[in-house]
Each structure stands twice: as structure tokens, then as C-alpha cells.
Amino acid sequence: MDFALDERTLELREKLLAFMDSHIYPAEQELLGKDVAPGAEWDRPSVMEDLKEEARRRGLWNLFLPGAHGAGLTNLQYASLAEITGHSPGLAPEALNCAAPDTGNMELLAEFGSEAQQRRWLEPLLGGQIRSAFCMTEPEVASSDASNIATRIDRDGDHYVVNGRKWFASGAMSPDCAVLIVMGKTDPGAERHRQQSMIIVPSDTPGVDIKRGMHVFGYTDGAHGGHAEVVFTNVRVPAENLVAGEGDGFAIAQARLGPGRIHHCMRLIGMAERALELMCQRALDRVAFGKPLAEQGVVREWIAESRVRIEQTRLLVLKTAWLMDTVGNKGAHTEIQAIKIATPRMTEWVVDKAIQAHGAGGVSQDLPLAHLWAQGRTLRLADGPDEVHLASLARRELKKYKG
């Protein structure tokens, strides 16, 4: 057992931290509290192209992607870098071309895409020229149970025809979003986990109606590409747009989940670190009732508790990344669920305390805290509510004791 980071990770961390200081935080400061012009809320901030270029120049590009298509890092190596991007989650991940849902979509195309699909979609995504969306969740059903998916993908000659309604389709509100990856059923009569398929739908295909951006606690998450409600009405795409084969949708979705979970969780840890940093600075600066908050026992407990909770959670996520690298997605199943449960609420707790230490400013647009909180809270729901994961994890634990 060895808890030290390896050379390459340490070196990339150095580089990334320098980039955060020199480019990301100044850009963030520029944008914070700024009102967005009506109609422009789904645009990328104008500084983004510069940030991307600079990150690329510094070798901080596509770090999330293992294998030949990407930087070739292990999950464990990338984890510590993803954490740092979480310090400024609205800017840093995209600047490094490491933002969801593009990361998951690129992984998916790299692993399951045909050569033609990779050329047509993976390459411009890797280059940061286009953005993409992922369409899984549906408003009418409990989507954490994939057998509920109601969207249909029906074969019709050389084409598939997609019909259905999705929401919280991340990325789809962006004007740069060129392609949607859509989960639907090709064979509702098949075995539970072989009914679903995954298909590539260019966003300009007739019948694709991006209706509106869903809000998240009042935030549109515009700069991220938002969370769209999308209606598919007789959307025809060539048959070769199917990813892998009919019935592979569930397996692909599962494969996509593991690394995404690590990324999300490490970014959440980075958000918690950012909130703790802001809380400490506030505690030292703010005087109330005659002494700085930093000398008041309750605030001190928040700070210490935050440190303890962050450390524990980080170790769990790193171990999960290590398991994924060494025994694979399946062997890490329990841990992948455990981090989904443990991380968002840790972040939620730490950010809540940081908000409280800031008073009214903490809930406002002048600090990143309220938005960080909303992201943490939402991840107790995204990819299935915690309760689904708790139930599943318990079943596995109980299995050890069954006859």
C-alpha cells in the first residue's frame, strides 16, 4: 500500500495548478456576478476559446481519455487532475476539453464507435470544435431503472426512426452542440438489459426539437450547455449511426458510467476544497461580535469537519479509480456506488457551511458558492438517486451472508 502520487501525476498537477492561477481564476473573477445578456445565456463565455488554446499549448488537453485517442493517463492519474478542475467547474473542465457530457461521449465513441463514427464525431470532439449532448433521462418514467425507458428506436429499412421525450439532456442547449447520443429501445420484447440501444443523432436532424432548458435551483447552467428537454418526432438517421449493435445500449451506458462517476466525484471534491478555501479566508477576514470568525468555535468546527470529510471521500474515490484500473469496472462496482453516495453529500455539507460563514453574500451571484452547492445537490439525483444505489449496494453486502 502506498499513498504517494506518481511522478507523471505530480508533474501534471503542477502544470494544471499554474494554469488555474494564471488563466482560470482571473477569467472566473471576470465573469462572476455578471449578468448574461438576454438570449446569450447558452453561449460559451467568449474567453473560452482562448482558455482552450492555452490549455492545449500547455499539454493539458483531453487528459481524461485513456488509450491512444487521449493523454493515456490511468483513471487514478486523471482523478487528481479532475479534482483540480473542480475548483472552477464552470471554466476549467471545458478549457481542458474534459467537460461532461463530452467526456463520456468521447469515451463511448472511442470504445464502441465504428471507424466512421470516430472520424465523423470523435475527432471534432477531441479537437474541441464541436460539443455534444447525452440523452438518457425521461420525464415520465423512473429512468434509474433502464427497463423503463420509453423512447423508441425503430428500424425502418436503412434507417432508424427515433421517437420519444428526454429531459436533462446535458449539453443540448449549447449553440455548439452538433450531436446527440440517444438511449432508446430497439426491442422492448427482449431480455431486460438487451432492449436498449444507443444511437447518434446529429442535432440538425429534422424532428429533433430542443424545447427548453431545464433549471437547476434557478440556474440554467447555460455555459455548460444546460440541461435540455428534447422531443424526438420521427427522427430518421442512417442505420450506421447505431453505436455497436442493437441491444448493446445498456452495457454501453454502464461502461460509460464508471469513469464519469470518478470525474464527477473528483470535481466535487475540488468544489469542496474551493469552498473550504473560501470559508477559511472569510473566517480570517470577517469580524463579528468583536473577533474574527476564525476564533469562533463553531466556525472552527466547520473547517475541521470539512477537512476530515474531504480527506475520507478523496481516498475512497482514488481507491475506486485504482480498482477500475486494476480489476475493471465490474470489480469496482461496490466502490463506484459508494462514491456516488458519499461524495455529493460531502460537498453539499462543506459548501453549505461555507455559505453560512459568508452570510447573505454566500447565496448570491457574487461568490461561486451557491452555484457549487446546486451542482453538488443535483448529483444526489443525477445518474439515479442515492437511494437506488444504496439499495443495490446493500443487496451486494447481504449476498455475502446468504446460504
Bridge-based pairing state of the strands 208-213 and 177-185: unpaired
By CB under 8 A, residue 4 contacts a second copy: yes
Residues in CB range of 214: below 8 A, 6 or more apart:
167, 168, 226, 227, 228, 229
- Determine contact, residues 80/5, Cβ cutoff 8 Å: yes
At position 315, the amino acid (one-letter code) is L
Euclidean distance between CA atoms 56 and 65, whole angstroms: 14
Between 129 and 312, whose beta carbon lies closer to a second copy? 312
- Of the residues 85, 162, 373, 376, which one makes contact with a second copy according to CB under 8 A: 373
By CB under 8 A, residue 374 contacts a second copy: yes
- Of the residues 96, 183, 342, 350, which one makes contact with a second copy according to CB under 8 A: 342
By CB under 8 A, residue 14 contacts a second copy: no
Interface stretch with a second copy, choices 15-23, 83-91, 187-195, 353-361 (CB under 8 A)? 353-361
Tell which positions 116-155 bind a second copy, by CB under 8 A.
137, 139, 142-145, 148
By CB under 8 A, residue 334 contacts a second copy: yes
Euclidean distance between CA atoms 397 and 1, whole angstroms: 24
Give min distance, CB of 372 to a second copy, in A: 11
Give min distance, CB of 53 to a second copy, in A: 30
By CB under 8 A, residue 307 contacts a second copy: yes
> 213 pairs with which residues across the strands?
228
Between 114 and 378, whose beta carbon lies closer to a second copy? 378
Interface stretch with a second copy, choices 95-103, 114-122, 258-266, 320-328 (CB under 8 A)? 320-328
Euclidean distance between CA atoms 8 and 28, whole angstroms: 27
By CB under 8 A, residue 102 contacts a second copy: no
The contact pattern for a second copy, residues 246-285, with x = CB under 8 A and - = no contact, is ------------------------------xx--xx-xx-
- Determine contact, residues 167/138, Cβ cutoff 8 Å: yes
Residues in CB range of 358: below 8 A, 6 or more apart:
278, 279, 282, 367, 369
